[in-house]
């Protein structure tokens, strides 16, 4: 019911606006001062999409060779990390998967002494393997931690680089209240008319 009432009110407001076109210019016309500023162009592509840090940063690196090179290095490092770790993780996961399956399958052994012995053998083999690959797993852990730190640091850098850009955009598009005041007046007039109707 509220949605229907809101839609009706909105429709009446729009009709009222279209009828009084000559008296009151459209809302957009008086919304901003200096709409076509020097930084406007770089933000036009974001209309219809969310203006995210990454979008603005992408625009920045187009005209900055140093930023382009930095971004390429960061992206390449992420890609190489993923490839390097994939080989190790595949082997480690295969072994881990085997031990899990072996433990699961011991449930089918009915002889309790044999079952206990097999469990010990599986655990012993798993422990030996973990000691063998301890240096590898420690390095994988360090690489993963470094990757998280790199992501965090680069994100902070991108935000710092893009904050001045959005601030330039805001300064180039100072919002005015004229159209909003005009719209509020129209709403109030319509509300008064509706109140008088019986």
Residue 181 has what pLDDT? Answer: 92
Residue 8 has what pLDDT? Answer: 42
Residue 96 and residue 154 in one domain: yes
Weakest mean pLDDT among 19-28, 58-67, 78-87, 172-181: 19-28
Residue 107 and residue 9 in one domain: no
Residue 171 and residue 182 in one domain: no
Residue 19 and residue 110 in one domain: no
**Average pLDDT over all residues of the chain:** 82
Residue 141 and residue 191 in one domain: no
Of residues 9 and 165, more confidence is placed in: 165
Count structural domains, the chain: 2
What size, in residues, is the chain? 198
Residue 3 and residue 79 in one domain: no
- Round to the nearest angstrom and report the end-to-end CA distance of the chain: 20
Residue 66 and residue 138 in one domain: yes
Residue 133 and residue 197 in one domain: no
Instruction: Give me the percent of the chain exceeding a pLDDT of 90.
Output: 66
Domain encompassing residue 103: 36-175
Phi-psi region of 155 (alpha: psi -120 to 50; beta: other; left: phi over 0): alpha
Residue 83 and residue 134 in one domain: yes
SS3 1: coil
Whole-angstrom distance, CA of residue 43 vs CA of residue 169: 8
Residue 59 and residue 21 in one domain: no
What is the reported pTM?
Answer: 0.64
């Amino acid at each position: 019911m509220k949605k229907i009432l809101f839609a009706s009110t909105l429709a009446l407001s729009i009709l009222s606006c279209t009828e009084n076109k000559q008296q009151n210019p459209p809302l957009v016309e008086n919304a901003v001062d200096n709409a076509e500023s020097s930084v406007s162009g770089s933000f036009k592509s974001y209309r219809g999409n969310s203006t995210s840090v990454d979008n603005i940063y992408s625009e920045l690196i187009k005209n900055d060779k140093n930023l382009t090179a930095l971004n390429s290095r960061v992206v390449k490092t992420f890609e190489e990390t993923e490839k390097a770790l994939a080989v190790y993780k595949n082997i480690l996961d295969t072994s881990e998967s085997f031990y899990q399956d072996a433990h699961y399958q011991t449930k089918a052994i009915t002889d309790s002494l044999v079952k206990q012995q097999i469990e010990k053998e599986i655990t012993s083999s798993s422990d030996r393997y973990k000691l063998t690959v301890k240096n590898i797993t420690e390095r994988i852990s360090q690489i993963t931690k470094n990757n998280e730190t790199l992501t965090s640091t680069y994100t902070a850098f991108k935000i710092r680089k893009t904050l001045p850009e959005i601030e330039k955009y805001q300064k180039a598009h100072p919002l005015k209240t004229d159209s909003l005041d005009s719209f509020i007046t129209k709403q109030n007039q319509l509300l008064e008319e509706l109140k008088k109707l019986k």
